[in-house]
Amino acid sequence: MRKLILLFSVLIGLHTPICTGEIRLVIASETTTLTGEGYVKFDAYIYNDSEKRVVVPAPEAGFLIEWKLQDVDKVRPAREGSDASVVTDSLQQHVLDPRATVRIRLGERFVTESGDLLQFHVVVNLGSESGKLREIRSNSLMMFRPK
């Protein structure tokens, strides 16, 4: 089941209508079910959709998760926010060849309650040669915490 979810997420992310020559960020979780401890493990894939080599910052060095929680019974109000996460003190960068992908393991803890539906995506800032800050945004994942 995990492999099917992962394959489906990657295929959707890579076929999203994004301009050719861009850097793409696709995330896929191990499961669609949240547990009481709230820790979510997921993979991030950075794909170079250009004809030249590019240097990208490693998301494991720092990324932003934007999230929204909703109670499926609509008893509790929706909650949303963002969390800046730094997983390592390394500022490692990845050099990606044309049409190459790098996989990174990430994780985040979410405070949820029974019956919550979680939707989140990841944002990674990219530098540019001109000094102007660019960012890439991943696809969104949805997860449910059973009652």
Residue ranges and CATH numbers for the domains of the chain are 2-144 (2.60.40)
**H or E element that contains 37:** none
How far is Cα 19 from Cα 15, in angstroms, rounded to an integer?
11
Residue whose pair of structure tokens reads 């001109």 in the numeric block = 130
**Residue whose C-alpha is closest to residue 44's, from 91, 98, 79, 87:** 87
At residue 118, the 3 state secondary structure works out as strand
Taking all residues of the chain, what is their mean pLDDT, rounded to a whole number? 80
Confidence band of 23 (pLDDT split at 50, 70, 90): confident
What are the pLDDT digits (tens) for 134-145? 788 999 999 999
**The predicted structure's pLDDT at residue 26:** 94
What are the pLDDT digits (tens) for 47-103? 999 899 988 766 666 788 999 999 999 999 999 999 887 555 555 677 889 999 988
Q: For residue 32, give both structure tokens.
A: 């669609």
